Chain A
Amino acid sequence: MMTAVNPTFKFIAILVPGVLLSFVYDVFTPLAYLTFLIVVTFTLSDISFKKWIRLFAPFALFALGFGWTAALYTNEAFSGGTVLFEFWVMKLTVGGLQTGLSITFRSLCFFAMSLLFIFTTDTTKFMMSLIHQCKVPPKIAYGIIAGYRFLPVFQHELQILRKAHQIRGMRRLKGIKGKLTQFQRYSIPLLANGIRKAERVAIAMESKGFTGNRERTYYHRMTVIKRDWLFLAMMVGVLFIVALLSYQLGYLKIFSKKM
């Protein structure tokens, strides 16, 4: 059902909680919201767990490291409380640990929401919905779809260039200067080819009668129905409920200020 939600609404539904979450500095609120996000991921969409965990697990490690650094080097306002342990220049306080964990869970929330969006959204439909709901000009939206098709092409071109340079013995350029020259050698043909290809696509689009103006019909008409509002309300609403609960339990912290 997540795939059917209007992409613009889905986007807002992760953007708003995302922004709100960045003000919260306690552990409970992001942890509870993360639990909710994971439940949503596996009940409301058909993302396979294997595929999800393969992306989520490495990021979780990264988030832990990130949180650990934050825990050790939090600024004065956050790092109060008992000293848990001290080693050489490292000093871990309760306040620091809390902030670190909060940051870890918060970044995991951001990542879980991004995955939720990426896995359930079709690029074409997202662009169409931007045209219909956000009044983005077709020229830009269709341009983005065409550009999106280019990503694998660029990667392929870079591989070929590497091989071509190897054939000519380019690998032998050493040192920073050599690396710099190498970068220059790659970037010019890559850019030249990119521009040439973009031009061809533009010509092909125009030759099919594309003018970029709004006088056109749409195969996918993206509409907004009650379900989309409900989804948005749910995503934002749950965050408020979680925050309220957290407040009741005495955890909630906005920046360094305990509520």
Chain B
Amino acid sequence: MKTKQYESQEAALISVENFSFAYESIDDPLLIDLNFTLHHDEVTLLMGASGSGKSTVSLCLNGLYPEAVEGESNGCITFSGKDITKFPSGMLNQHIGIVFQDPETQFCMIHVEDELAFTLENLQTPPAQMAGMITEALKLVGMESYKHSKLHELSGGEKQKIALASVLLSEPELLILDEATVNLDPASTREFVQLVKAIQEKQQISVLIIDHQADEWLQFTDRLLLLGKEGRLMADEHPDRLFTAKKALLKKEGVFLPKKYDNSPLFTRSMQPIPPAAKNILTVEGINFNRKNKSILNGVDLEIRGGEFISIVGRNGSGKSTLLEIMAGILEPAGGQVLMHGKPLQLWQESELRQKMGFVFQNPEHQFITDTVYDEIVFGMKLNDYPEEVIQRSSSFLLEQFQLSEHKFQNPFSLSGGQKRRLSVATALDDTPDILLFDEPTFGQDAYTTHRLMEMILDLKERGIAIVFVTHDMELASLSDRILVLHDGMIAFSDQPKNLWMQGDLLKKARLRLPYHRENPASREEVHL
């Protein structure tokens, strides 16, 4: 880690003074009285619970907010000593580049080359120079052979590299990465971080990183800003000091402690072994699946027992979600069959099957079908004509357990990210399922929500419910009874997590990595998992 001293005011690139921001009325602000300075050639990490307004900060810094959302703001932000509201439209954006979280929604053109040209066109670069600059930028991110590719054909990691290249073309003085790696598999995340590090060192630009997981970035972070749940700045310090001296504060704010500083295992409770007598719940036999003449799954066999917790891992596009959807009977395989309690899925009555099987989508919003939280929870029970008192009893139990009681009559879409996630799990539990399938359940969630969710899931496991996860998070996968690695359309590994960590070749091929404490055994004397 670098150590720098910033004494003089001249080094200030951006300073934020008494800045508040509100989406509606300034009397109820999201960001309150922020004061901080970003310097030249400095890497700053901005952390905070989900919903604390981290992305809003980045959009305020480059002047897009409050105009874009008709919000209100107070206080002052200056860029190189000049008030940002005084910049003519479009000018400030040339100095500040942002790479966003969602690879799907940050492009406006069809081909890679045109997307990069779009930045240059906005800068009014003479057309004769464009081709050369585009090639240079692609070389910088290692994507020169993709110049003529179509953007929608690239993988998530490749898209993020193109997004980075297109932002770097304007030679920004400040680069903002707004959760730019959350959609990527572990190896792509690492590649992206290394790329940013190399570019930062070469061009000495300032970088502001927003992320729930600090681990990968810490190797070159100079400073850490902590945004509290109330929208105030809670800390502005060197990461080393913050992560050692202020652990309690970070925990309270729902921030993941980097594993480097966190000696406690992810879960202290001991895991229940699966009872030997546990019955087979779901059986997958010889599943094949093709997409556009490309084989995605090629002869997958699998047996899942009651009370078993399984994680399915693999690189982006390896067919993890496809397999999960086939297991749930919402996607038809090209060959093979799925049996639930020994009976093929297609022979089940849809209503009976859904009572015994729950499925939680990656995006919780996809499964909300009613107008209030309460209706959402009782939907399945009403559909199955449960008696009124049963509905009352189980709904208040679920609302209580998932901390949604006070939001009972709110519209599901108006909940925060963590609340939406909890509701989506609650809806899958309205009956008493035998198996629960989760597609990336902790995606984009903060430490607090992830922890709560895992507690609930382990409770369910103890009640004999089989749990299947599709995840990129190796820390979570390491908690499961069994890990399945999908590679080249087949199950390349199916065993206890501890046996996977020794298979370096496979980890590399499937673009996985070790959980932190396996990677750095010295960080914890005793390995708990």
The verdict on B119 contacting chain A, using a C-beta distance below 8 Å, is yes
Instruction: Let me know if A219 and B120 touch, CB within 8 A.
Output: yes
Pick the contact of B109: A145, A170, A203 (CB < 8 A). A145
Residue of B nearest to A192 (CB): B413
Residues of A within 8 A of B108 (CB): 142, 145-146, 149, 201, 204-205, 210
What separation, in Å, do the CA atoms of A215 and B350 have in the docked complex?
59
Which of A14-22, A91-99, A158-166, A242-250 is the contact stretch? A158-166
What separation, in Å, do the CA atoms of A12 and B76 have in the docked complex?
53
What separation, in Å, do the CA atoms of A221 and B117 have in the docked complex?
12
Instruction: Let me know if A219 and B413 touch, CB within 8 A.
Output: no
Assuming the A-B contacts A167-B330, A217-B127, are A172 and B383 also in contact, with contact meaning beta carbons closer than 8 angstroms in the complex?
Answer: yes
Interface residues of B in 79-109 (CB under 8 A from A): 89-91, 93-94, 96-98, 100, 102, 104-109
Instruction: Let me know if B369 and A185 touch, CB within 8 A.
Output: yes
Pick the contact of A201: B62, B106, B110 (CB < 8 A). B106
The verdict on B123 contacting chain A, using a C-beta distance below 8 Å, is yes
Residues of A within 8 A of B113 (CB): 219
Which of B199-207, B215-223, B254-262, B360-368 is the contact stretch? B360-368
Q: Can you list, as one digit per residue, whether each of B123-141 has a CB less than 8 Å from chain A (1) or not (0)?
A: 1111100100000000000
Residues of A within 8 A of B354 (CB): 167-169
The verdict on B28 contacting chain A, using a C-beta distance below 8 Å, is no
Residues of A within 8 A of B98 (CB): 204, 207
The verdict on A189 contacting chain B, using a C-beta distance below 8 Å, is yes
Measured between C-beta atoms, what is the minimum distance from B295 to chain A in Å?
20
The verdict on A209 contacting chain B, using a C-beta distance below 8 Å, is yes
Measured between C-beta atoms, what is the minimum distance from B193 to chain A in Å?
21
Residue of A nearest to B117 (CB): A219
Instruction: Let me know if B107 and A165 touch, CB within 8 A.
Output: no
The verdict on B147 contacting chain A, using a C-beta distance below 8 Å, is no
The verdict on B427 contacting chain A, using a C-beta distance below 8 Å, is yes
Instruction: Let me know if A149 and B107 touch, CB within 8 A.
Output: yes
The verdict on B456 contacting chain A, using a C-beta distance below 8 Å, is no
Residue of A nearest to B384 (CB): A169
The verdict on A206 contacting chain B, using a C-beta distance below 8 Å, is yes
The verdict on A175 contacting chain B, using a C-beta distance below 8 Å, is no
Assuming the A-B contacts A207-B97, A217-B124, are A163 and B325 also in contact, with contact meaning beta carbons closer than 8 angstroms in the complex?
Answer: yes
Residues of A within 8 A of B110 (CB): 123-124, 145, 148-149
The verdict on A197 contacting chain B, using a C-beta distance below 8 Å, is yes
Residues of B within 8 A of A219 (CB): 113-114, 117, 120-121, 127, 130
Instruction: Let me know if B380 and A168 touch, CB within 8 A.
Output: yes
Residue of A nearest to B358 (CB): A167
Residues of A within 8 A of B21 (CB): none
Residues of B within 8 A of A168 (CB): 354, 367, 369, 379-380, 427
Residues of B within 8 A of A211 (CB): 89-90, 122
Assuming the A-B contacts A149-B152, A172-B383, A217-B124, are A206 and B130 also in contact, with contact meaning beta carbons closer than 8 angstroms in the complex?
Answer: no
What separation, in Å, do the CA atoms of A217 and B122 have in the docked complex?
7
The verdict on B68 contacting chain A, using a C-beta distance below 8 Å, is yes
Interface SS of chain A? helix
Q: Can you list, as one digit per residue, whether each of A159-196 has a CB less than 8 Å from chain B (1) or not (0)?
A: 01101111111111000000000000100010011000
Residues of B within 8 A of A170 (CB): 369
Residue of B nearest to A206 (CB): B64
The verdict on B167 contacting chain A, using a C-beta distance below 8 Å, is yes
Residues of A within 8 A of B12 (CB): none
| Size bracket, chain B contacts | 35 or more
What separation, in Å, do the CA atoms of A210 and B121 have in the docked complex?
9
Task: Pick the most buried of B114, B166, B167: most chain A CB atoms within 10 A of its CB.
Answer: B114
Assuming the A-B contacts A167-B359, A209-B119, A219-B120, are A152 and B367 also in contact, with contact meaning beta carbons closer than 8 angstroms in the complex?
Answer: no
Residues of A within 8 A of B427 (CB): 168
Pick the contact of B122: A152, A153, A209 (CB < 8 A). A209
What separation, in Å, do the CA atoms of A205 and B93 have in the docked complex?
10
Instruction: Let me know if B105 and A201 touch, CB within 8 A.
Output: yes
Instruction: Let me know if B119 and A208 touch, CB within 8 A.
Output: yes
The verdict on B209 contacting chain A, using a C-beta distance below 8 Å, is no
The verdict on B11 contacting chain A, using a C-beta distance below 8 Å, is no
What separation, in Å, do the CA atoms of A160 and B110 have in the docked complex?
24
Residue of A nearest to B355 (CB): A169
Pick the contact of A210: B90, B379, B380 (CB < 8 A). B90
Q: Can you list, as one digit per residue, whether each of A203-232 has a CB less than 8 Å from chain B (1) or not (0)?
A: 111111111000111111100000000000
Instruction: Let me know if A189 and B365 touch, CB within 8 A.
Output: yes
What separation, in Å, do the CA atoms of A22 and B59 have in the docked complex?
53
Residue of A nearest to B115 (CB): A208
The verdict on A257 contacting chain B, using a C-beta distance below 8 Å, is no
The verdict on A200 contacting chain B, using a C-beta distance below 8 Å, is yes
The verdict on B496 contacting chain A, using a C-beta distance below 8 Å, is no
What separation, in Å, do the CA atoms of A192 and B364 have in the docked complex?
13
Measured between C-beta atoms, what is the minimum distance from A31 to chain B in Å?
37
Residues of B within 8 A of A220 (CB): 114, 117
Residues of B within 8 A of A215 (CB): 124
The verdict on B270 contacting chain A, using a C-beta distance below 8 Å, is no
Residues of A within 8 A of B365 (CB): 189, 192-193
Interface residues of A in 130-168 (CB under 8 A from B): 142, 145-146, 148-149, 152-153, 160-161, 163-168
Residues of B within 8 A of A218 (CB): 121, 127
The verdict on B170 contacting chain A, using a C-beta distance below 8 Å, is yes
What separation, in Å, do the CA atoms of A175 and B413 have in the docked complex?
27
Instruction: Let me know if A189 and B90 touch, CB within 8 A.
Output: no
Pick the contact of B152: A152, A164, A189, A210 (CB < 8 A). A152
Pick the contact of A206: B93, B114, B331, B367 (CB < 8 A). B93
What separation, in Å, do the CA atoms of A124 and B110 have in the docked complex?
7
Assuming the A-B contacts A142-B108, A193-B365, are A206 and B68 also in contact, with contact meaning beta carbons closer than 8 angstroms in the complex?
Answer: yes
Instruction: Let me know if A204 and B107 touch, CB within 8 A.
Output: yes
Instruction: Let me know if B62 and A207 touch, CB within 8 A.
Output: yes
Instruction: Let me know if B114 and A204 touch, CB within 8 A.
Output: no
Instruction: Let me know if A208 and B325 touch, CB within 8 A.
Output: no
What separation, in Å, do the CA atoms of A211 and B64 have in the docked complex?
11
Measured between C-beta atoms, what is the minimum distance from A60 to chain B in Å?
27
> Could you write out 17 A-B pairs with CB less than 8 Å apart?
A161-B366, A164-B361, A167-B358, A167-B359, A168-B380, A171-B350, A204-B106, A204-B107, A207-B59, A208-B93, A209-B90, A209-B91, A209-B119, A210-B108, A219-B121, A219-B127, A220-B114
- Going nearest first, the 4 A-B pairs with the smallest beta carbon separation are A219-B117, A209-B122, A204-B106, A200-B105
Given contacts A200-B106, A205-B118, 14 further A-B contacts (CB under 8 A): A146-B109, A166-B330, A169-B380, A169-B383, A171-B350, A189-B413, A203-B64, A203-B68, A204-B107, A207-B98, A208-B93, A209-B93, A211-B90, A219-B130
A interface residues with partner B (beta carbon < 8 Å):
123-124, 142, 145-146, 148-149, 152-153, 160-161, 163-172, 185, 189, 192-193, 197, 200-211, 215-221
